Every structure is written in structure tokens, then in C-alpha cells.
Homo-oligomer: A and B are copies of this chain.
Amino acid sequence: MCGTCGCNIPQTIADGHESVEVLIGLLDANDHQAAHNREHFNEHGVLAINLMSSPGAGKTALLEATIEAFDGKVRIAVIEGDLETENDAERIRAKGVPAIQISTGSACHLDAHMVHGALHDLDLQGIDILFIENVGNLVCPASFDLGQHFNVALLSTPEGHDKPAKYPVMFRAADLVLVTKSDLLAVLDDFDPTEALRCLRQLASSAPMLDLSAKTGDGMRGWVDWVEEAIA
């Protein structure tokens, strides 16, 4: 683990005792805040799900399709994390769901303090599920507890089936892996769902892996069932 980001301190620098102390202080502070966030969620009966993936793997498209699938039967809210732009929050609001945008500037992940700040702008009493769409990054977000109940990692088919082997920290942290953009499988030659599952199992992860396409709706039922079971 490195500095404030959750990645390794370069070996040549990590030897400094002071750096390590700062690191531990930062992660302790994050964990403390995350526990506090989780208490908030539990008090109000809110299920919090942290969505993580590479940039452009389809987190926002998944949320749009999820909101449509639930069709108002559960009360959804979204926290959007991006370096810049309010684009994603606007897409969610266009579906009639409250969305708070966190602009992280140059920060590569959300942390528990940022999420806590956003909670002040949400009426938790009126929410059943809070989706937290993390910054698009397959490394750093995995190391920061936000207070969520579940981590869901998206792996889009164009990225290739080897990603669980190459980004083990993220996929080990996942309670569920969604293989997104399954509609592209027919035109891709480097994504075999069986191989993706094998890579995941080699991390000693027993997380379920579901294929879906937010575009065509294929496989959305399995995801919605998972969410409903998580609420119950």
C-alpha cells in the first residue's frame, strides 16, 4: 500500500519511516469514516453498492438500465465519482433518480470522506438502494472502503478475459463480477467467458460472475435478482 492512494509505495522510497506512518494514518482515517458511513446506511435501511471498473466499462449505462428495470419499485439514489464533468449525474437524473456528483479533480478513487460529504445532500430516509459509481480505475478504488455493503466489479468484454489475472486486487475485492457489453462477444476474439471465470477462480474468489448487456437487456434479469436478494 502506498501514500493515500492504496497502491504500493515505490520500494526505493518506502523505507522512510515517516512515509509509512503517514500512510497508516490516512488509511486508518478512511476506515474510521467508512464505518461511520455504514452506520448511517444501516440506521436508515439503505443498501449501499460500490460499482468499480475500468473507464468506459459501462457503469452508468448499467445504472440507467437498472433504474428502468426496477421501474420505481425500489427507491434508488446514485453518487457519481468522476475526475471532471457532471455528465454521469445528469444521465441518472434524466431517469428521474437523485444523483450527487463528486468531482475528484485529479484523484483516482473515491474515499469515505468524499462519500460522507455527498450523503449530506441525500435524504437517506427516502432511499432503498444507494449505488456509488466509483472513478473509472481498475486499481486504486479497491483499496478504499466507502462504507458500502457490497463491491461489484464490472469487466467489459472489449477489455479481454485476462483482466482478473492482471488486476487481482480489484477482482479479489469484488462480491459480484458483471461481464458487461456481452452484445460485443460475437465480434471480439479475446474474450472467452469461461477463461474470465477461470482467471477469477484462480484468485480464490467464489464471487458469482454474470454476463449482461445494458444495451440489449440480455442478462439484466440475473443482476436485478442479485440486487433484490441483497436488499432482502
Question: In the complex the two chains form, is B114's CB within 8 Å of A166's CB?
Answer: no
- Cα of A162 to Cα of B156 in the assembled complex, Å: 17
Question: In the complex the two chains form, is A106's CB within 8 Å of B143's CB?
Answer: yes
* A168 interface neighbour in B8, B22, B83, Cβ under 8 Å: B83
Q: Per-position contact with B for A120-143: 1 when CB-CB < 8 Å, else 0?
A: 000000000000000111111001
Interface-side segment among A9-17, A71-79, A204-212, A217-225: A9-17
Q: Per-position contact with B for A37-70: 1 when CB-CB < 8 Å, else 0?
A: 0000000000000000011100000000000000
A226 an interface residue at 8 Å Cβ cutoff? no
Question: In the complex the two chains form, is A4's CB within 8 Å of B26's CB?
Answer: no
Question: In the complex the two chains form, is B140's CB within 8 Å of A158's CB?
Answer: no
- Cα of A189 to Cα of B181 in the assembled complex, Å: 12
Question: In the complex the two chains form, is B29's CB within 8 Å of A139's CB?
Answer: no
List the B residue with the shortest CB-CB distance to A26.
Answer: B13
Interface of A is mostly: loop
Question: In the complex the two chains form, is A55's CB within 8 Å of B138's CB?
Answer: yes
Residues of B with C-beta under 8 A to A82: 166
A89 an interface residue at 8 Å Cβ cutoff? no
A84 an interface residue at 8 Å Cβ cutoff? yes
Residues of B with C-beta under 8 A to A137: 108, 137-140
A160 an interface residue at 8 Å Cβ cutoff? yes
Residues of B with C-beta under 8 A to A109: 7
Residues of A79-110 contacting chain B, CB below 8 A: 82-85, 87, 104-109
Residues of B with C-beta under 8 A to A85: 162, 165-166
Question: In the complex the two chains form, is A104's CB within 8 Å of B8's CB?
Answer: yes
* A10 interface neighbour in B23, B113, B143, Cβ under 8 Å: B113
Residues in chain A within 8 A of chain B (CB atoms): 1-13, 16, 18-19, 22-23, 25-26, 29-30, 54-56, 82-85, 87, 104-109, 111, 113-114, 135-140, 143, 156, 158-160, 162-163, 165-169, 181, 184, 187, 189, 215
20 A–B contacts from the bound complex (CB under 8 Å): A3-B5, A3-B22, A7-B106, A7-B109, A8-B106, A10-B26, A10-B107, A12-B29, A12-B113, A13-B25, A56-B158, A83-B166, A83-B169, A106-B139, A106-B169, A108-B140, A136-B166, A139-B140, A140-B140, A187-B187
